[in-house]
Amino acid sequence: MKRLRLLLAAATALVAVAQLHAAKELNLFGWSEYVPQAVLDKFTAETGIKVNYETYASNEEMLSKLLGGASAYDLIQPTDYVIEALRAKGKLEAIDFKNVPNFKNISKEYTNLPHDPEQKYSVPYMAGTVGIVVNTEKIKEPITGLDDVFSGKYASRIVTLNDNRELLTWAMRTLDLDINKVTPDAIAKARPVLAKWLPQIKLYDSDSPKTALLNGDVDVGVVWSGEAAILYRENKKFAYVLPKEGAHLWIDSLAIPKGAPHKAAAEQFINFILRPEISALISEAFPYTNPNTEARKLLTPEQLANPASYPSATKLETFRDIGKAASVVDKLITDLKGGS
């Protein structure tokens, strides 16, 4: 009997410890290659909160897991238009900004944008653009826009993202259409443009378009700025140009999913990330555009000179959620690729 009571006491103690532990945890579900381990370690050392960092390679993968309810995530890193879709479906927890005083460091350029107009559900993490990378050793003529890339002169020397909406958006830009109004009419107008462009593309690669550029299999690409920044770091012959027709600005933000078990820890983490010195640490590892004004002051002149991280201005626009129209876009590009 005595032994039983002892056992029971031990069990109770164990449960208590486990609960204490549970409160000291944060389940972060973020992009792969995006949050340096050093930053997570610093956070744990300072707060005692253990960070479980699980990663994904696309917004769609994240949505599948999040909506499938597989695991209880506290913090996710969706891109702008996904924030909009999740918010519209009531899948996000409003962030208590009283717990995130460092939010003041974020540049006004990146707040109150259409995907979160009242800035209640998201905090910008990193931003970037989709632009043109040119191997200036191979291409001597100036390239300033998408029209130049797809003029026909560089047929079979082009790599682009394998992203149906991006491809459609580029065509819509050259036609001066609103990129967020994906209507049957807009698609009909964009179709002939894409029918002319797509056969010129040597390969589509969203995961690592830099590989084909580095290998010399292509000379010009329309790619994520992050890829371009890495290419530029590797070799200065890779120039980054924002298309004169306008470019896609994407903002990956931190957001708390509905019913997150450790909301307080999530807010604590957001506030930590927004500290200038921590944010600069992230920029050092991953050369995206840092929306944190105070952190930018800590960056080296060389980091700031990388044109892919901090490009000169052009018309920048974020994506809005297009809902079910995504199927139509998917069909259009599949059709055009299949026909080529």
Stretch that binds other proteins, among 22-30, 31-39, 83-91, 243-251 (CB under 8 A): 83-91
Tell me if 250 sits within 8 A of 79, measured CB to CB. yes
Q: Structure tokens of 116?
A: 């979160």
Q: Are 267 and 46 in contact (CB under 8 A)?
A: no
Least distance CB 202 / other proteins (angstroms) = 5
Helices 164-174 and 184-197 cross at an angle (nearest 10°) of 90
Decide: is 327 part of the binding site for other proteins (CB under 8 A).
Answer: yes
* By CB under 8 A, residue 86 contacts other proteins: yes
DSSP state of 278: H
Q: Which of 68, 40, 42, 38 lies closest to 54 in space, CA to CA?
A: 40
E strand map for the chain: 25-31, 50-56, 75-76, 92-93, 123-135, 158-160, 201-204, 220-224, 238-241, 247-254, 256-257, 316-317
Radius of gyration of the chain (CA): 23
Q: Which of 163, 275, 285, 310 binds other proteins (CB under 8 A)?
A: 163
What count of Cα atoms within 13 Å lies in the side-chain half-sphere of residue 77?
23
Comparison of 27 and 164: residue with beta carbon closer to other proteins: 164
* Residue 94 near residue 283, CB atoms below 8 Å: no
Give me the residues paired with residue 203 across strands.
159
How far apart are CB 338 and other proteins at their closest, in Å? 5
Closest to other proteins by CB, 66 vs 241, is: 66
The H-or-E segment that residue 321 falls in is none
Nearest CB to other proteins, comparing residues 116 and 321: 321
Please pick, from the candidates 49, 132, 201, 241, the single residue that binds other proteins as defined by CB under 8 A: 201
Q: Give the residue with the Cβ less far from other proteins, 85 or 100.
A: 85
First to last CA, the chain: 80
Judged by beta carbon, residue 316 or residue 326, the one nearer other proteins is 326
| From 21, 89, 258, 297, residue interacting with other proteins (rule: CB under 8 A) | 89
Q: Is residue 237 within the footprint of other proteins (CB under 8 A)?
A: no
61 binds other proteins (CB under 8 A): yes
DSSP secondary structure letter of residue 151: S
Rule CB under 8 A: is residue 295 a binding residue for other proteins?
A: no
Size of the site for other proteins (CB under 8 A): 37
Based on CB atoms, which residue is closest to other proteins, 44 or 136? 136
Contact window for other proteins (CB under 8 A) among 6-14, 19-27, 57-65, 309-317: 57-65
139 binds other proteins (CB under 8 A): no
285 part of the interface to other proteins, by CB under 8 A:
no
Interaction site with other proteins (CB under 8 A): 58, 60-61, 63-64, 67, 85-86, 88-89, 91, 156, 162-164, 201-205, 212, 215-217, 321, 323-324, 326-327, 330-331, 334-335, 337-340
